[in-house]
Amino acid sequence: MFGYWDALYFLYAFFIGLVISYLLMKWAEKASTGTRRAGDGTKIYISGEDQDKIIPHFEHFEGYFTGRHVMWGLIRGAQRMFLAFRKEHTGLLTDYVAYLLLTVAIVLGALVIGG
């Protein structure tokens, strides 16, 4: 069974994936309160921020949402980890290759020891 590939099974799996994706998209459109499709047109609503609401001292950001707004919870929750990673970020390719080799060595060591 393993090692045998049949194009028909691939097409079945692909079709089922398309159907599931379509059903999820329709469910999300019904369940979400994110985009208004009638009235004044579409309206962006990201992370509880209203596009029409003007924030004092941030009038120049009216209607604009940056990645900082969307990822605020992740960045706030993992701030110490991001600070540690920022210290290690040198921009030198040799450092990243060394990290890759170290990770591969650890994984291979765990596989050899674990059997």
pTM as predicted: 0.32
Residue 28 CA from chain centroid, whole number = 17
How far apart CA 29 and CA 31 sit, in angstroms, is 6
Q: Does residue 63 lie within any of the structural domains?
A: no
111 falls within a domain = yes
Distances, alpha carbon 99 to alpha carbons 21, 29, 63, in Å: 37, 43, 41
Domain assignment of residue 108, yes or no: yes
Give a yes or no: residue 68 inside a domain: no
Domain that holds residue 93: 85-115
Give domain status of residue 104, yes or no. yes
**Among the residues of 32-92, which ranges form H helices?**
67-70, 72-77, 79-88
Q: Kindly state whether residue 57 falls inside one of the protein's structural domains.
A: no
Q: Kindly state whether residue 47 falls inside one of the protein's structural domains.
A: no
Note the pLDDT tens digit of each residue in 59-81. Answer: 555 555 555 566 777 777 888 88
What does the alpha-carbon distance between residue 65 and residue 62 come to, in Å, rounded to a whole number? 8
Residue partners of 94: CB distance under 8 A and separation at least 6: none
Question: Which tens digit of pLDDT belongs to each residue from 9-49?
Answer: 889 999 999 999 999 988 877 776 555 555 555 555 555 55
